[in-house]
Amino acid sequence: MADNKNDPAEIWRTMVGEMEKGFNTFANQAMASPEFSKVVNQAGSVSAGAQKQMGDMMEKYLTGMNLPSRAQMTNFGERLAAIESQMSEVVSILRDMHQAAGGAPIGDATPRPPRTKRPPSNEGEGA
Amino acid sequence: MTATTASPSPVDDFAAIPTRIQDEVNRAIQRSIKGVEYIASSGPTLGSTPKDVLHSRGTMKLYHYRPMADEIYRVPILIVMATTNRGYILDLVPGQSFIEFLLKRGYDVYMLDWTAPTPEEKNLRMEDYVLDFIPDSIRRVQKDSGETDVSVIGYCFGGVLSTLYGAIFPDGPMKNLICFTTPVDFTKMELFHNFSDRRYFDVDRLVDSVGNVPPEMILTSFEMLRPASRVAGQVQLWENIWNDEFVKSYRMFDRWATDTLPLAGEYFRTITKDLMWDNKLFTDTMTVGGRPANLAAIKVPILHAVAEHDHIVPYEAAKHLIAKVGSTDKQEVILKGGHVSLVAGANAIKRLWPKLDSWLGERST
């Protein structure tokens, strides 16, 4: 087999790996400075403000077009989720009542294995 | 005696050139074919270990995984997932699933996973997670399993939530605590600490204006820690696209890494102020809902697994957990790998999972 040091593909791989490492190190040093934090947070703050204004404008536009807004759709989804959650509770209560009355398990119908397992070292199997 | 290694002579190198060229041509052809396949397919199905939803309420989802062994340990496990990411990192595909591994080793496994908080959930606070979601999940695990004791496993920030829970409820029912890459000294997460520098980062303004912190912002902050790695990863993908195993693995991890969750606004505000700025967990001044959460109060057996090359939670940030807890039965394991490869992938299969099994098995009867 040829020596890997002379393999162009291997040289390429090594180069990519080294460049990645070098750039990450350089960027990490730059990002550790307070100046970086200041610039990034100023930009982030402007972007968040613009996003909020855009959302408000869009909400007014949708109201004008007689269309549901994102907030209304989200509220609708919330209500559905709350109904699902309550149904899940009702199913859970019904299951408990059914089992308390001596009925067979519902849903995950396979019987649970016994909780008797011991760690291998205790069974003499060795760890 | 000195061993001599036969290094290939220039003649050998020359003789190998045609084979090498042939290999490269074959790979180039395969790259074109597989490249089209890559674009046209959706990747492997993740998180497919059979499970039932035990409870669902807003952002929280409690799963019970169906046992795979004929006999299981007495003490069930509740896994608390990090709030920034999806739980399927611990259940990738059969053969590479931590959950499947635990089930086959005879554990009864539950997971507290998260869905994206809705805009209405922007007011969820740290207390909702620590004093409501986790205790509620534990009660449901107790009821479902019929056991009083529960072992808790927390990954990354799920580990922080689990330790806060353990510190506030030291009298149980948590029987064992296992944390993966859990930060305690947040000043040592240096880049995150700098990104959230209190002189320049107005967390109140951010939360008040956007509500929940958008997932894009969370993803960007993670990617900024290794800014060249995404591009380098894509170069590696193209080079190895002929290799089905490499592509499968790349797709699994890439999908998970970019599937970031938003964070509830109030919860993010507390993380920033109490942990990032005031470092309260490290200085033993942390409170949740007015209740002190001092790590020294934790007395249960604890295992903390940390990664040698973790760029998200560096060892310097995580190393204090074992020193600070009040447990007498406590152990830290430092394993090769990074923040994700510690818990998932080939490294985890060889290193972390067997270690955890041998530690937890003895404490689960």
Q: What is the pLDDT of residues B168-207, one digit of tens each?
A: 999 989 999 999 999 999 999 888 878 888 888 888 988 9
pLDDT score of B322 more than 90 = yes
pLDDT score of A126 more than 50 = no
| Predicted confidence band of residue B1 (pLDDT cuts 50, 70, 90) | very low
pLDDT score of B330 more than 80 = yes
Residue B10 lies in a domain: no
Give me the total of CB pairs closer than 8 Å, taking one residue from chain A and one from chain B. Answer: 143
Least confident of A90-104, A113-127, B237-251, B317-331: A113-127
Mean pLDDT for the stretch of residues B128-148: 95
| Predicted confidence band of residue B107 (pLDDT cuts 50, 70, 90) | very high
Q: What is the DSSP string of B55-108?
A: EEETTEEEEEEPP-SSS--SS-EEEE--TTB-GGGGS-STTS-HHHHHHHTT--
pLDDT score of B93 more than 50 = yes
pLDDT score of A28 more than 60 = yes
- Tokens 């496994």, residue located: B109
Q: Please tell me the predicted confidence (pLDDT) of residue B324.
A: 95
Nearest to A3 among B13, B53, B72 (CB): B13
- Distance between CA atoms of B325 and B297, rounded to whole angstroms? 7
Q: Please tell me the predicted confidence (pLDDT) of residue B2.
A: 43
| Predicted confidence band of residue A4 (pLDDT cuts 50, 70, 90) | low
Look up residue B199 and give its two tokens: 């002189």
Residue A102 lies in a domain: no
Per residue in B152-167, pLDDT tens?
Answer: 999 999 999 999 999 9
Collect all residues of chain A within an 8 Å Cβ-Cβ radius of residue B209.
Answer: 48-49, 51-52
What backbone torsions phi and psi does residue B351 show, to the nearest 5 degrees? Answer: -110, -70
Per residue in B267-303, pLDDT tens?
Answer: 999 999 999 999 999 999 999 999 999 999 999 999 9
| Beta pairing class for B77-80 and B150-155 | parallel
Collect all residues of chain B within an 8 Å Cβ-Cβ radius of residue A28.
Answer: 191, 225
Per residue in B226-245, pLDDT tens?
Answer: 777 778 888 888 878 778 88
The answer to whether the Cβ–Cβ distance between B365 and A122 falls below 8 Å is yes
Within a 10 A sphere around the Cβ of B10, how many other Cβ atoms?
9
Q: In A, residues 28-57, which contact B (CB 8 Å cutoff)?
A: 28, 31-34, 36-38, 40-42, 44-45, 48-49, 51-52
Mean pLDDT for the stretch of residues A94-105: 77
Residue B1 lies in a domain: no
Look up residue A122 and give its two tokens: 């205790």
Q: Closest Cα of chain A to B323: distance in Å?
A: 28
Q: How many domains does chain A have?
A: 1
Q: Are B332 and B77 in contact (CB under 8 A)?
A: no
The answer to whether the Cβ–Cβ distance between A1 and B57 falls below 8 Å is no
The residues that bridge with B53 in the sheet, in sequence order, are B63
Per residue in B26-85, pLDDT tens?
Answer: 777 777 777 766 666 667 778 888 888 888 888 999 999 999 999 999 999 999 999 998
Q: Which of A10, A41, A78 to mutate to test the interface with B (most CBs of B within 10 A)?
A: A41
A79 touches chain B (CB under 8 A): no
CATH of the domain at B251: 3.40.50.1820
Residue A117 lies in a domain: no
Q: Please tell me the predicted confidence (pLDDT) of residue B153.
A: 97
In sequence order, which residues have a C-beta less than 8 Å from that of residue B267 and are 6 or more positions away? B83, B124, B125, B126, B128, B129
The answer to whether the Cβ–Cβ distance between B232 and A17 falls below 8 Å is yes
Q: Please tell me the predicted confidence (pLDDT) of residue B293.
A: 95
Q: In A, residues 58-77, which contact B (CB 8 Å cutoff)?
A: 71, 74-75, 77
Residue B179 lies in a domain: yes
Residue B332 lies in a domain: yes
Single-letter code of the amino acid located at B29: I
pLDDT score of A49 more than 60 = yes
pLDDT score of B4 more than 70 = no
Residue B300 lies in a domain: yes
Nearest to B52 among A24, A77, A108 (CB): A108
Nearest to A16 among B118, B202, B232 (CB): B232
Q: Please tell me the predicted confidence (pLDDT) of residue A106.
A: 61
Residue B188 lies in a domain: yes
What value does the mean pLDDT of chain B take?
88
The winner for highest mean pLDDT among B89-98, B197-206, B262-271, B339-348 is B262-271
Which contiguous run of DSSP H or E holds residue A112?
A: none
Residue A75 lies in a domain: yes
Nearest residue of A to residue B226 by CA position? A24
The answer to whether the Cβ–Cβ distance between B58 and A45 falls below 8 Å is no
Q: Are B179 and B159 in contact (CB under 8 A)?
A: yes
pLDDT score of A116 more than 90 = yes
What percentage of residues in chain B have a pLDDT greater than 70?
Answer: 94
The answer to whether the Cβ–Cβ distance between A23 and B57 falls below 8 Å is no
pLDDT score of B360 more than 90 = yes
Nearest residue to B189 (alpha-carbon basis) of B319, B330, B347 = B319
3 state DSSP class of A30: helix
| Predicted confidence band of residue B150 (pLDDT cuts 50, 70, 90) | very high
The answer to whether the Cβ–Cβ distance between A1 and B224 falls below 8 Å is no
Collect all residues of chain B within an 8 Å Cβ-Cβ radius of residue A113.
Answer: 67, 69-72
Q: How many domains does chain B have?
A: 1
Q: Can you give the residue range of the structural domain that contains B336?
A: 51-361
Nearest residue to B77 (alpha-carbon basis) of A71, A117, A87, A61 = A117
Report the complex ipTM: 0.72
Q: Please tell me the predicted confidence (pLDDT) of residue B365.
A: 92
The answer to whether the Cβ–Cβ distance between B200 and A120 falls below 8 Å is no
Q: Can you give the residue range of the structural domain that contains A16?
A: 8-91
Q: Please tell me the predicted confidence (pLDDT) of residue A110.
A: 66
Per residue in A66-92, pLDDT tens?
Answer: 888 776 776 777 678 778 777 877 887
Q: Please tell me the predicted confidence (pLDDT) of residue A125.
A: 45
Nearest residue of A to residue B70 by CA position? A113
What percentage of residues in chain B have a pLDDT greater than 90?
Answer: 52
What value does the mean pLDDT of chain A take?
75
Q: Please tell me the predicted confidence (pLDDT) of residue B12.
A: 66
Nearest to B227 among A9, A13, A23 (CB): A23
The answer to whether the Cβ–Cβ distance between A41 and B24 falls below 8 Å is no
